[in-house]
């Protein structure tokens, strides 16, 4: 709060208005807290006045279940057709008929897919990319995760195009109709990105059934927003001259959009596509809980049996898949951005125009047919697979036996002197005071409308009877985000000043981002026991990524000319950094902090698996009790915390940007 005060006060220095307002406000809240002994309703929202939103949502769900299941089930059936096809093609074989006399057409051979992946990489990024992409697929095959990885890939291969098409259409609609963007699309995107997926798994199960299709829809809900945002951004960024020119050339509105504007926006759109792929891979574990199977299920199963090594291997297979798809789609984006070279590609027969594609098709067909006769082509032979699982297990055991006492001392100190006091402070914070203070901050940063939004969202958490759990969430997220920034910003700074450090840091944070948090949460429990410290460490490991990334990026993109100007005008190194580089990079760094908070919030659910007592646990309990209302109400509270943080930070960043001019 004090930081906000300083920053906001600066533009209006002559009037010490805001500091005085804040002093008065804090004093008022203090009085409120002291009065709490006599009027407990001021601290904890009175139970009698809780709005039974949970029951309402459950009632709506029951109605939906009875009345629109026929519709949702037909959607399942329709979407199931391409999905089944993809799953059969990659993983399951085609089966025509039933029982032992069924005719079976084999799935694609693993050899063929590895070669095709290599060729795709080569086509878009040369030998080096080809080797990387092919190598990732080979890695998956050699570590015995082939069938699971192909189930995951099959799901992704349908979910991603689905997200892209739907996202594109929604984005265009929102771009054309500003009212739709403001009233419908923007708020929905915010909710889709902040509501934990667990919260809507039960409605998914009820409406779309326990099948890969529900998993796909859940994945789509989570992964689509970047595509919509990229479409809106890309279209609005197309220079108006291009649009004008197309009109002059006599394009109809439709031609203008599809032939001119969208192709011009392609680089931004491809960034969206890349994000969709990454987010879809983030969902594989959760999708496996409602019928997707695949790598996510392998991770869950291995962890239930405490097979740390196997879980790690399955997790790394997800990372390999992510790296392959990420690099490939980025290379495609760059290729598209450079544009087509017309002429040479237009002439000649198909195989001459697309040599890589043709070769890939031939290899796929040949190896798949060969698989009918040579089993080694159909399934990865067990003899060539390997495992590193024992090494992982031995590593964790070694640390457990040798370092536990040191770790235990750190853990106890953290719990007793940091976590418990902060927790007590948060949980004792009066709800009325929080509504008031956050509203005031919003008013200072963004005006009356923001203030009303923030105060209303805060009040929601209290009115639904979730105040204590909300504050427990704020405590864990706040402290984890703070520590993430404490670690991440210096690392980002270091990386920005040395290319070598950046080269080392980048693959590590890429892995941290894609590796399912489940994989490392159990080893952390072995070292840090069940409790808040474990939850905090797991959260920090995930949330530190944007802090590093944005700091590095922000500092690096300061124009060199400005730095040179500073040096020329006689600044010391120190002055150049603190007076020029840092202020210019500040908006970007703040965006990183904002993202860190949102990432920490998204880990709340996963931390519920190690026994926290916050909103995440509430959603988790709702999931196992199949209580749709309870899950959605708590999920919304989590989403609102995220939206409040996002809006306040956004307003603050905008102010800081405005000051920079």
Cα separation, 45 vs 432, in Å, equals: 8
Of residues 120, 476, 623, 644, which one binds another protein by CB under 8 A?
A: 623
Of residues 496, 539, 576, 617, which one binds another protein by CB under 8 A?
A: 617
Residue 383 interacting with another protein (CB under 8 A)? no
Residue 610 interacting with another protein (CB under 8 A)? yes
CB of 408 vs another protein, minimal distance in Å: 8
Of residues 54, 147, 264, 653, which one binds another protein by CB under 8 A?
A: 147
- Classified as helix, coil or strand, 440 is helix
Residue 375 interacting with another protein (CB under 8 A)? yes
Three-point CA angle 38, 44, 46, nearest 5°: 90
Residue 86 interacting with another protein (CB under 8 A)? no
Of residues 580, 612, 615, 651, which one binds another protein by CB under 8 A?
A: 612
Residue 80 interacting with another protein (CB under 8 A)? no
Residue 92 interacting with another protein (CB under 8 A)? yes
Cα separation, 216 vs 230, in Å, equals: 21
Q: What is the dihedral of CA 427, 199, 478, 450, to 10 degrees?
A: -90
CB of 534 vs another protein, minimal distance in Å: 8
| Binding window for another protein (CB under 8 A); candidates: 112-120, 180-188, 291-299, 505-513 | 291-299
Helix (H) or strand (E) holding 96: strand 94-96
CB of 181 vs another protein, minimal distance in Å: 35
- Classified as helix, coil or strand, 13 is coil
If you write DSSP's letter for every residue of 417-432 in order, what string do you get?
A: IIIHHHHHHHHTS-HH
Of residues 3, 15, 48, 103, which one binds another protein by CB under 8 A?
A: 103
Q: Between helices 225-237 and 146-176, what is the axis angle to 10°?
A: 40
**Dihedrals φ, ψ of 41, to 5°?**
-65, -20
| Binding window for another protein (CB under 8 A); candidates: 43-51, 134-142, 230-238, 409-417 | 409-417
Q: Report the site for another protein in 50-79 (rule: CB under 8 A).
A: 69
Q: Report the site for another protein in 523-582 (rule: CB under 8 A).
A: 523, 525-527, 529-531
| Binding window for another protein (CB under 8 A); candidates: 29-37, 202-210, 263-271, 487-495 | 202-210
Cα separation, 281 vs 223, in Å, equals: 9
Complex with another protein: residue 508 or 530, whichever CB lies closer: 530
CB of 288 vs another protein, minimal distance in Å: 6
Residue 376 interacting with another protein (CB under 8 A)? no
**Dihedrals φ, ψ of 388, to 5°?**
-110, 10
Q: Let me know: does 308 contact 393? Beta carbons within 8 Å.
A: yes
CB of 519 vs another protein, minimal distance in Å: 12
Q: Let me know: does 629 contact 55? Beta carbons within 8 Å.
A: yes
- Locus of tokens 């419908």: 184
CB of 135 vs another protein, minimal distance in Å: 22
Cα separation, 397 vs 403, in Å, equals: 10
Residue 609 interacting with another protein (CB under 8 A)? yes
Distance from first CA to last CA of the chain, Å, rounded? 25
* Continuous H helices in 88-185: 110-142, 146-176, 178-180
Q: Report the site for another protein in 302-341 (rule: CB under 8 A).
A: 303-307
Residue 104 interacting with another protein (CB under 8 A)? yes
CB of 533 vs another protein, minimal distance in Å: 10
Residue 91 interacting with another protein (CB under 8 A)? yes
Q: What are the tokens at 379?
A: 């399934």
Residue 135 interacting with another protein (CB under 8 A)? no
Q: Let me know: does 333 contact 270? Beta carbons within 8 Å.
A: yes
Of residues 100, 178, 250, 560, which one binds another protein by CB under 8 A?
A: 100
CB of 86 vs another protein, minimal distance in Å: 15
Q: Residues 389-408 vs another protein: string with x where CB under 8 A? A: --------x--xx--x---x
If you write DSSP's letter for every residue of 598-639 in order, what string do you get?
A: HHHHHTHHHHGGG---SHHHHHHHHHHTT-HHHHHHHHHHHH
Residue 590 interacting with another protein (CB under 8 A)? no
Complex with another protein: residue 99 or 239, whichever CB lies closer: 99
Q: Let me know: does 149 contact 113? Beta carbons within 8 Å.
A: no
């Amino acid at each position: 709060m004090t930081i906000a005060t300083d920053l906001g006060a600066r533009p209006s220095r002559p009037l010490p208005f805001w500091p005085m307002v804040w002093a008065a406000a804090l004093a008022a809240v203090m009085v409120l807290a002291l009065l709490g002994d006599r009027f407990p309703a001021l601290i904890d929202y009175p139970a009698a006045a809780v709005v039974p939103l949970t029951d309402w949502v459950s009632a709506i769900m029951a109605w939906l279940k009875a009345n629109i299941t026929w519709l949702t089930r037909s959607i399942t059936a329709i979407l199931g057709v391409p999905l089944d096809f993809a799953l059969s093609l990659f993983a399951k074989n085609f089966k025509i008929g039933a029982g032992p006399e069924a005719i079976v057409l084999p799935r694609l051979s693993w050899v063929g897919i590895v070669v095709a992946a290599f060729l795709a990489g080569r086509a878009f990024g040369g030998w080096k990319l080809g080797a990387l992409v092919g190598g990732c697929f080979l890695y998956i095959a050699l570590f015995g995760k082939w069938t699971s990885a192909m189930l995951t890939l099959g799901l992704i291969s349908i979910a991603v195009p689905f997200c892209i098409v739907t996202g594109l259409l929604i984005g265009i609609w929102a771009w054309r109709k500003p009212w739709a963007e403001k009233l419908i699309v923007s708020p929905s995107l915010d909710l889709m990105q902040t509501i934990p997926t667990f919260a809507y798994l039960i409605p998914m199960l009820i409406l779309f059934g326990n099948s890969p299709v529900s998993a796909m829809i859940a994945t789509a809900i989570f992964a689509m927003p970047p595509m919509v945002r990229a479409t809106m951004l890309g279209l609005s960024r197309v220079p108006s001259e291009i649009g004008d020119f197309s009109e002059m050339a006599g394009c109809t509105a439709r031609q203008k959009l599809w032939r001119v504007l969208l192709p011009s926006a392609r680089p931004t759109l491809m960034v969206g596509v890349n994000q969709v792929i990454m987010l879809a891979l983030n969902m594989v574990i959760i999708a496996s809980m409602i019928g997707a199977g695949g790598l996510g299920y392998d991770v869950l199963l291995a962890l239930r049996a405490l097979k740390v090594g196997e879980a790690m291997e399955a997790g790394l297979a997800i990372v390999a898949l992510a790296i392959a798809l990420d690099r490939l789609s980025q290379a495609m984006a760059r290729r598209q951005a450079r544009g087509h070279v017309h002429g040479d590609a237009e002439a000649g027969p198909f195989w001459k125009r697309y040599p890589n594609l043709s070769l890939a098709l031939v290899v796929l067909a040949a190896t798949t047919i060969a698989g009918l006769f040579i089993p080694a082509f159909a399934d990865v032979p067990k003899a060539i697979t390997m495992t590193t699982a024992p090494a992982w297990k031995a590593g964790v055991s070694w640390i457990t036996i040798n370092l536990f006492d040191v770790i235990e001392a750190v853990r106890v100190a953290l719990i007793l002197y940091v976590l418990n006091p902060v927790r007590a402070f948060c949980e004792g914070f009066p709800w009325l005071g929080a509504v008031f203070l956050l509203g005031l901050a919003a008013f200072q940063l963004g005006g009356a409308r923001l203030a009303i939004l923030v105060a209303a969202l805060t009040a929601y958490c209290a009115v639904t009877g979730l105040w204590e759990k909300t504050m427990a969430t704020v405590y864990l997220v706040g402290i984890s985000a703070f520590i993430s920034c404490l670690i991440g910003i210096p690392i980002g700074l270091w990386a920005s000043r040395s290319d070598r450090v950046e080269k080392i840091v980048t693959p590590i944070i890429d892995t941290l981002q894609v590796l399912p948090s489940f994989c490392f949460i159990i080893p952390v429990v072995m070292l840090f026991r069940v409790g808040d410290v474990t939850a905090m460490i797991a959260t920090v490991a995930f949330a530190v990524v944007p802090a590093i990334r944005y700091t590095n990026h922000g500092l690096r993109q300061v124009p060199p000319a400005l730095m040179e100007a500073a040096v020329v005008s006689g600044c010391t190194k120190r002055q150049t950094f603190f007076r020029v580089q840092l202020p210019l990079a500040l908006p970007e760094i703040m965006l990183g902090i904002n993202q860190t908070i949102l990432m920490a919030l998204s880990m709340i659910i996963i931390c519920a698996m190690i026994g926290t007592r916050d909103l995440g646990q509430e959603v988790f309990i709702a999931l196992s009790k199949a209580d749709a209302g309870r899950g959605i109400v708590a999920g919304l509270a989590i989403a609102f915390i995220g939206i409040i943080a996002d809006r306040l930070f956004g307003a603050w960043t905008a102010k800081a940007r405005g000051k920079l001019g």
